[in-house]
Amino acid sequence: MSLLDREASGVVMTPDNIRTKRLPLAVNLGIAVAGLAIAAAVVYGFGIGNYVLVVVLGVVFYLIGLQIVAGRIEGPRTARDRMWKTLIYAACLLAVLPLASVVWTLVSKGVQRLDGNFFGSSMNNIGARDPEGGAYHAIIGTLEQVGVATLIAVPLGVLGAIYLVEYGRGRFANTVRFFVDVMTGIPSIVAGLFILSFWVLIVSPWFNNGTPRFSGFAASLALTVLMLPTIVRSTEEMLRLVPGPLREGAYALGVPQWKTILQVVLPTALPGIVTGVMLAVARAAGETAPVLLVAGGAASINFNPFEGGQSSLALYVYQQAGDASRYAPARAWTAALTLVAIVLILTIAAKLLARRNSLSK
Amino acid sequence: MGDNPSSRSENTTASDLGVTGRHTRGAGTGVSPSSHDDPPIGGGGALPKKARFGMEAGFKGLSVAAGAMVLVIIVAIAIFLISKAVPAIRADNENFLTFNQWFPNETEPRFGIAVLAFGTVLTSIIALLVAVPIALGIALFLSHYAPKRLATPLGFVIDLLAAVPSVVFGLWGRDVFMEPVREFSGWLNKYFSWIPIFGGDGPFGRSVLLGSLVLAIMVLPIVTSLSREVFRQTPGMNEEAALALGSTKWEMIRTAVLPYGKPGVIAAVMLGLGRALGETIALAMTLGIVFNISFNIIENGGNSIAANIANAFGEANETGRGALIASGLVLFAITLVVNMAARAIIYRRREFRDSAA
């Protein structure tokens, strides 16, 4: 208001005068440079830090300077608007930094052992002084455990989603829906402990002369617990997107409901369901904690998920990271690179598939 | 998104009127109705008789069983964890809830959850304090500031951040991030040691601060993606009304977007809290694993329930396993409460539900 009053005295109202004054870009940049310069002078002058502090203080000085200058030219409200805009942009930059660092380290440290030996051999008979050793057994373990888990979780999850969308009414269905959501938040270590106390310590002794047995299958069960809610949720969302007239058309032709679901609803929603399953698989492949607790973590190649210990890529990374051998870190980073590659390829493929899916548009 | 539920209820009435065969009993059998309760419905003389154990009932039964499986699993988790935890807690010679050491493998087991529960809550809270403002900033950027050409790939990158396995973040935190954090801790200690949380005289690095920062990076995408969805659903009318009244962009966000999204943001933060509480491997690799209740966040130290399970599992005997399962039970209970509260908030606002992944 005060701004308007001040301007109004004796000024002819031409379009140039009505428009509010804007802070020129050059001034904006000038404040930024000045802020950084003052910060550098303060930090290096008093010797209280390095370039990181210069940047942080520079941003603070820039914000203060912007507040003062823009407050003079544009008024306090616009100045505050500018400040928040700067902060929001800064938050974005701040979030991209760690990701860039992770990707850079993964690639630069991961290529050290990216050779045939790494993918063709296991850690059997590899001592602390051996530079060889690979992750073949771990890759086998990951593929088998995730595969078995998918075989169990997908039918169960899709059927559960069918219940929620097609049959579920009333309080019970709402309870199930609520706990599916709650179940997505169960920590992976708790799923591992559950399978440990249920399968490894109580059920597996029945098949193994009374001694508990760690196995890849136990890890699959734990991964199933983690995958199930994700699959139910994504499938449920997809089934809901199937247009009602498709179902009604089928019913009008006298097709029973179960056949309608299997032959009309599911095929229509299939691309979306596959996307959800791939995301769940990607998440399960990266889980370490449950495998650590129930798979046994053998160092040799074991194709049988039901007998004897197995490892997995994530567990292999963890084991190698804790290994004292000077060759272990390189193995850990290469395994991490492999794991991230698998997970990211699955995730990106799933997202691209979702984008092509006509249903969710 | 918002009109999904209504379209769904249309579908359901259609399916009820469909060929479920509920009303066709007696029709077409050629026999006069045995009771007055269900008279034959005219017309369909050729309609097949409803089979009592046909595919329809079987398929429905299967899907109901699959749906019920979720409840069964959650109840089973509680039952089996309790069944293994109770003997261990019985064997404990100290108070499980208040004792602050962990010696479950000795002949006279002594262990308590106090340090672990404290460490879990401390790391999670610091992680959230760091992550939530940044996550909200990114969410606002993606929903209201960024041009669409930038928002789509950046949102994609944030989603990828969520897909990176926690063991990779743990490895990165330990091998790469520890050094800057150590320097930063030294700097904090040099100038701010009069604040108790930055006190102590080293060594620094493998500390609560490192664990919390790694955790913050991992929580970030969850809070971001849910808040972004919520901010996006702000009614356009509210935004335009605010702008038409002369608001600046920030004032529009403060008066229209943030109040509308508040319950969703609270739920997003609680989901992030749930993930932070349960995070295992990244913390097992970055915390100092020390049994000691201390608010000092930069000295080597820190522990959490999940990290302790991962670290101590290898050497655990039977009581030791029971003790770890007991601590897992506590973790399960905490995360269950946090998650249920978050979901309850989301469910109260129906329009948020479909986007709350």
Q: Is the pLDDT of residue B301 over 80?
A: yes
For residue A44, is it within any domain? yes
Mean pLDDT within A135-163:
93
CB nearest B313 (choices: A157, A293, A333): A293
Same domain, A86 and A143: no
Residue predicted with more confidence, A167 or A129: A167
> What pLDDT shows up at residue A73?
84
Q: Which of A87, A111, A135 delimits the end of a domain? A: A111
* Residue among A218, A190, A223, A232 at smallest CA distance from A304: A218
In 10 A of CB A226, how many CB atoms? 24
Q: Distance from CA of residue A158 to its chain's centroid?
A: 22
For residue A189, is it within any domain? yes
Query: Could you tell me how many helices (H) and strands (E) chain B has, helices first?
Result: 14, 2
Measured distance CA(A126)–CA(B26) in Å, rounded: 75
B41 touches chain A (CB under 8 A): no
Candidate ranges A26-30, B187-191, B204-208, B238-242; pick with highest mean pLDDT: B238-242
Same domain, A87 and A65: yes
Mean pLDDT within B255-269:
90
CB nearest B172 (choices: A105, A188, A282): A105
Question: In sequence order, what DSSP letters do the residues of B278-292 get, joined into one string?
Answer: H--HHHHHHS-----
Is B250 in contact with A85 (CB distance < 8 Å)?
yes
Q: Tokens 């049994």 label which residue?
A: B291
CA distances (Å), A286 to each of A145, B167, B269, in order?
A: 12, 8, 23
Q: Is the pLDDT of residue A112 over 70?
A: yes
> What pLDDT shows up at residue B5?
42
> What pLDDT shows up at residue A298?
80
In 10 A of CB A341, how many CB atoms? 12
- Mean of the per-residue pLDDT values of chain A: 87
Same domain, A319 and A175: yes
For residue A290, is it within any domain? yes
Same domain, A156 and A42: no
Mean pLDDT within A165-187:
89
Measured distance CA(B85)–CA(B100) in Å, rounded: 18
Range list of H helices, A184-215? 188-195, 204-207
Mean pLDDT within A134-151:
92
For residue A312, is it within any domain? yes
* Residue among B259, B252, B258, B251 at smallest CA distance from B139: B258
For residue A40, is it within any domain? yes
Q: Is the pLDDT of residue A163 over 90?
A: yes
Measured distance CA(B225)–CA(B230) in Å, rounded: 9
> What are phi and psi for residue B207, nearest 5 degrees?
-125, 175
For residue A361, is it within any domain? no
For residue A333, is it within any domain? yes
Chain B residues within an 8 Å CB radius of A94: 134
A133-166 exposure pattern, b = at least 16 Cβ within 10 A, e = fewer: bbbbbbbbbbebbbebbbebbbebbbbbbbbbbb
CA distances (Å), B350 to each of A167, B39, B347, in order?
A: 20, 41, 5
Q: B222: distance to nearest CA of chain A, Å?
A: 11
Q: Is the pLDDT of residue B33 over 90?
A: no
> What pLDDT shows up at residue A13?
63
Same domain, A215 and A288: yes
* Residue among B194, B348, B332, B345 at smallest CA distance from B271: B345
Q: Is the pLDDT of residue B10 over 50?
A: no
Measured distance CA(B324)–CA(B305) in Å, rounded: 9
Measured distance CA(B35)–CA(B30) in Å, rounded: 14
> What pLDDT shows up at residue B217?
92
> What pLDDT shows up at residue B14?
41
Candidate ranges A17-26, A141-150, A344-353; pick with highest mean pLDDT: A141-150
Residue A329 tokens read as 């870190």
Q: Residue A28: which domain range?
A: 2-111
> What pLDDT shows up at residue B72?
94
> What pLDDT shows up at residue B352?
52
* Residue among A274, A269, A313 at smallest CA distance from A292: A313
Same domain, A162 and A78: no
Band of residue B167 on the pLDDT scale cut at 50, 70, 90? very high
> What pLDDT shows up at residue A45?
84
Share of chain A above pLDDT 70, in %: 93
> What pLDDT shows up at residue A70?
87
Residue A349 tokens read as 């493929």
Is A157 in contact with A234 (CB distance < 8 Å)?
no
| Rg of the Cα atoms in chain B | 28
* Residue among A312, A321, A128, A77 at smallest CA distance from A217: A312
Q: Is the pLDDT of residue A2 over 70?
A: no
Q: Is the pLDDT of residue A222 over 90?
A: yes
Residue predicted with more confidence, A148 or A360: A148
Q: Tokens 């129906």 label which residue?
A: B350
Band of residue B345 on the pLDDT scale cut at 50, 70, 90? confident
> What pLDDT shows up at residue B6?
41
Mean pLDDT within B132-154:
91
Chain A residues within an 8 Å CB radius of B17: 251
Q: Distance from CA of residue B190 to its chain's centroid?
A: 37
Q: Helices A188-195 and B318-348: crossing angle, nearest 10°? A: 130
> What pLDDT shows up at residue B50?
64
Chain A residues within an 8 Å CB radius of B135: 95
Chain A residues within an 8 Å CB radius of B140: 88
Same domain, A92 and A130: no
Measured distance CA(B282)–CA(B310) in Å, rounded: 10
> What pLDDT shows up at residue B21?
41
Same domain, A9 and A132: no
Mean pLDDT within B230-258:
91
> What pLDDT shows up at residue B30?
43
- Chain A interface, best mutation among B72, B184, B280, by max A CB count within 10 A: B280
Same domain, A149 and A37: no
Is A216 in contact with A295 (CB distance < 8 Å)?
yes
B64 touches chain A (CB under 8 A): yes
Identity (one letter) of the amino acid at A146? Answer: V
User: Mind listing the domains of chain B with CATH numbers?
Assistant: 102-353 (1.10.3720.10)
Stated as kind and residue range, the H or E segment containing B93 is none
Identity (one letter) of the amino acid at B39? Answer: P
Chain B residues within an 8 Å CB radius of A156: 66, 69
> What pLDDT shows up at residue A223?
95
Mean pLDDT within A80-106:
89
B183-216 exposure pattern, b = at least 16 Cβ within 10 A, e = fewer: ebbebbbeeeeeeebbbbeeebbbbbbbbbbbbb
B7 touches chain A (CB under 8 A): yes
Q: Which of A86, A111, A136 delimits the end of a domain? A: A111
In 10 A of CB B17, how many CB atoms? 12
CATH of the domain at A126: 1.10.3720.10
> What pLDDT shows up at residue B13?
41
ipTM: 0.86
Mean pLDDT within A87-101:
88
For residue A199, is it within any domain? yes
Q: Is the pLDDT of residue A228 over 90?
A: yes
Q: Whole-model pTM?
A: 0.84
In 10 A of CB B115, how many CB atoms? 22
Residue B278 tokens read as 């349960």
> What pLDDT shows up at residue B43?
54
The answer to whether the CB atoms of A163 and B306 lie below 8 A apart is no
CB nearest B335 (choices: A53, A185, A317): A185
**Structural domains of chain A, count:** 2
Q: Is the pLDDT of residue B295 over 80?
A: yes
Band of residue B343 on the pLDDT scale cut at 50, 70, 90? confident
Residue B286 tokens read as 């970055």
Identity (one letter) of the amino acid at A70? Answer: A
Chain B residues within an 8 Å CB radius of A163: 63-64, 66-67
Q: Is the pLDDT of residue B20 over 80?
A: no
> What pLDDT shows up at residue B16?
42
Band of residue B46 on the pLDDT scale cut at 50, 70, 90? low
Band of residue B104 on the pLDDT scale cut at 50, 70, 90? confident
Same domain, A66 and A137: no
Candidate ranges A100-104, A324-328, B22-26; pick with highest mean pLDDT: A100-104
Same domain, A106 and A128: no
Max CA pair span of chain A: 101
Mean pLDDT within A62-81:
88
CB nearest B74 (choices: A179, A189, A262): A179
Same domain, A217 and A126: yes
Q: Which of A58, A91, A111 delimits the end of a domain? A: A111
Measured distance CA(B30)–CA(B16) in Å, rounded: 25
Q: Count CA within 13 A, CB hemisphere, residue B278.
A: 30
Mean pLDDT within A312-337:
90
